[in-house]
Amino acid sequence: MKLPYAEPYKIKMVETIKRTKREDREKWIKEAKYNLFNLSSDKVFIDLLTDSGTGAMSDQQWSAIMTGDESYAGSRSFFELKEAIRDILGFEHFLPTHQGRAAENVLFSALVKEGDLVPGNSHFDTTKGHIEIRKATAIDCTIDEAFDTTINHPFKGNIDLNKLDEVLSSNPKEKIPLILITVTCNSSGGQPVSMENIKAVSVLAKKYGIPLFFDAARYAENAYFIKLRENGYQDKSIRDIIKEMFSYADGNTMSSKKDGIVNIGGFIGLRSKKLYDKASMFNIVYEGFLTYGGMAGRDMAALAKGLYESADFDYLESRISQVAYLGNKLKDYGVPVQEPFGGHAVFVDAKRFLPHIPQSEYSAQLLAVELFIEGGVRGVEIGTLLADRDPVTRKNRYPELELLRLAIPRRVYTNNHMDYIAAALKNVYDRRNEITKGFKIIHEKDIMRHFTV
């Protein structure tokens, strides 16, 4: 018998979470104005709002916290992290930042100006925000298959090379400061990008003389999918796959709160010393001196360890298999989910779950609220609420996918929790026809409304 996967760790410390009563949850969510961000976490039994900064650090990481060097300049922890980034990703230069969006802010300050275009696969919302705030445009060149949750394509994060070529060939080079590939592609459902696609994009990038960057938040998960799904990579190690992926890139932004398995942190990796020098100035202004950039020494030390731990096959297998375990359970119950399942989350298709609720009534948000009421499980809407209004017409932008994301924190929950989540969602599914109306927004902010609506 083939031995199944099992977590390559045992639990040393636990945190109590409490089950709650349905009538309380109904009251709390009403008081929270049906916005799950307004709930205090003690009211949540299982928190799947995000996999960002919510992972459990290892004993090695906690030990590193104690030995972190808090020197303002020249911290030993900085050099440990620099060496880990060089060793794993292959970049000689790096700038620490306090989280992923800060890395975007610093890098784009050096590269992106008004009127520019930044093509890529579905950009994450903070990335898009940092492009748009500079009056530049993010162009989504993701393959069409990504937008149909029923199509089972192994690399739904891939870039459509024709779409990209069209952008590159019909605009002057000076208007395209970079091409950005997000690995895995969060906005299209935690979907991976194949090595073949990365390579082909890098060929196009070189042909047009444009730098290629990764938004690398979940790069290790992407490498795992390449090993599993792409011909020729089965016998390669995760570390070798990561090395090859990054060999095609000129640099990266990183939210270390994901595959760095730390609670806070980010960085920019760079090949070019010239760009490093240019971005350094913005790092000092926005983040902090070059050898800490918004991170405590102890956090850099823990991140250096986390980067090695997340590049381990057994860790990745247990993590991604747990996400798939939840996905398969939901599928068995008939709940419509995006396939294949993402690396960090299962995405529930609200259009198919609640076909009688129009997108204009925020059906994925409604589903998120119903799941909270049913079982105290907090997911997050990735749909019309998040898509916000068109900045010019102020009309709602209706995305093709209306999703409820169930993001699984790293090394935090067991498969019993997955069973509980699936049962709660099945109960909502069984009573879906009794859910007859959605929401209307009473009050919203001009930008990033989902946080405060």
| Nearest CA among 449, 81, 105 for reference residue 286 | 105
Which contacts qualify for 272-281: CB closer than 8 Å, 24 or more apart?
272/93, 273/92, 273/93, 275/110, 275/111, 275/250, 275/251, 276/93, 276/95, 278/110, 279/95, 279/106, 279/107, 279/109, 279/110, 280/95, 281/110
Q: Which of 44, 48, 52, 156 binds ligand F0G (CB under 6 A)?
A: 52
Q: Is 45 a catalytic residue?
A: no
Which is closer to ligand F0G, CB of 409 or CB of 438? Answer: 409
Q: Is 215 a catalytic residue?
A: yes
Contact partners, residue 57, CB within 8 Å, separation at least 6? 65, 261, 262, 263, 302, 306
CB of 99 to ligand F0G, least distance (A): 3
Q: Please list the residues that pair with 214 across neighbouring strands.
A: 181, 252
Q: Which of 77, 105, 109, 255 binds ligand F0G (CB under 6 A)?
A: 255
Which is closer to ligand F0G, CB of 215 or CB of 230? Answer: 215
Is residue 192 within 8 Å of 283, Cβ to Cβ? no
| Nearest CA among 104, 126, 124 for reference residue 178 | 104
Which is closer to ligand F0G, CB of 130 or CB of 429? Answer: 130
Using the rule CB under 6 A, is 121 a contact of ligand F0G?
no
Using the rule CB under 6 A, is 189 a contact of ligand F0G?
no
CA distance 239 to 262: 19
Using the rule CB under 6 A, is 310 a contact of ligand F0G?
no
Contact partners, residue 168, CB within 8 Å, separation at least 6? 119, 176, 204, 207, 208, 210
Q: Which of 35, 58, 77, 99 binds ligand F0G (CB under 6 A)?
A: 99
Q: Please list the residues that pair with 267 across neighbouring strands.
A: 96, 254
Dihedral pair phi/psi, residue 284, rounded to 5°? -65, -40
Is residue 179 within 8 Å of 214, Cβ to Cβ? no
Strand runs labelled E in 35-178: 46-47, 93-97, 117-120, 137-140
Using the rule CB under 6 A, is 215 a contact of ligand F0G?
yes
Q: Is 125 a catalytic residue?
A: yes
Question: How distant is the alpha carbon of residue 191 from its chain centre?
Answer: 10
Nearest residue to the partner ligand F0G, using Cβ: 100
Q: Which two tokens stand for residue 105?
A: 């802010």
Q: Is 124 a catalytic residue?
A: yes
Using the rule CB under 6 A, is 339 a contact of ligand F0G?
no
Q: Which of 72, 419, 445, 451 is catalytic?
A: 72
Which is closer to ligand F0G, CB of 302 or CB of 357? Answer: 302
Among the residue ranges 95-103, 219-227, 366-374, 411-419, the one whose residues contact ligand F0G (CB under 6 A): 95-103
Using the rule CB under 6 A, is 222 a contact of ligand F0G?
no
Q: Please list the residues that pair with 180 across neighbouring strands.
A: 120, 213
Q: Which of 257, 329, 378, 450 binds ligand F0G (CB under 6 A)?
A: 257
Dihedral pair phi/psi, residue 154, rounded to 5°? -70, -25
Q: Which of 43, 101, 227, 319 binds ligand F0G (CB under 6 A)?
A: 101
Using the rule CB under 6 A, is 252 a contact of ligand F0G?
no
72, exposed or middle or buried, with CB in 10 Å at 0-12, 13-18, 19+?
exposed
CB of 254 to ligand F0G, least distance (A): 8
CB of 385 to ligand F0G, least distance (A): 14
**10 Å Cβ neighbour count for 452?**
12
Q: Is 450 a catalytic residue?
A: yes
Among the residue ranges 33-41, 123-131, 296-304, 419-427, the one whose residues contact ligand F0G (CB under 6 A): 123-131
Q: Which two tokens stand for residue 355?
A: 């076909």
Among the residue ranges 97-105, 156-164, 240-248, 306-314, the one whose residues contact ligand F0G (CB under 6 A): 97-105
Q: Which of 136, 217, 368, 422 is catalytic?
A: 217
Q: Is 217 a catalytic residue?
A: yes
Q: Which of 106, 110, 168, 217 binds ligand F0G (CB under 6 A)?
A: 217
CA distance 53 to 242: 22
Q: Please list the residues that pair with 252 across neighbouring strands.
A: 214, 269
Using the rule CB under 6 A, is 182 a contact of ligand F0G?
yes
Q: Which of 45, 78, 94, 124 is catalytic?
A: 124
Q: Which of 82, 98, 128, 258 is catalytic?
A: 258
CB of 107 to ligand F0G, least distance (A): 12
CB of 36 to ligand F0G, least distance (A): 13
Among the residue ranges 94-102, 242-250, 316-324, 410-418, the one whose residues contact ligand F0G (CB under 6 A): 94-102
Q: Which of 47, 125, 299, 388 is catalytic?
A: 125
Using the rule CB under 6 A, is 100 a contact of ligand F0G?
yes
Question: How distant is the alpha carbon of residue 234 from its chain centre?
Answer: 25
Residues serving a catalytic function are 72, 124-125, 215, 217, 258, 450
Residues at the interface with ligand F0G (CB under 6 A): 50, 52, 99-101, 124, 126-127, 182, 186, 215, 217, 255, 257, 266
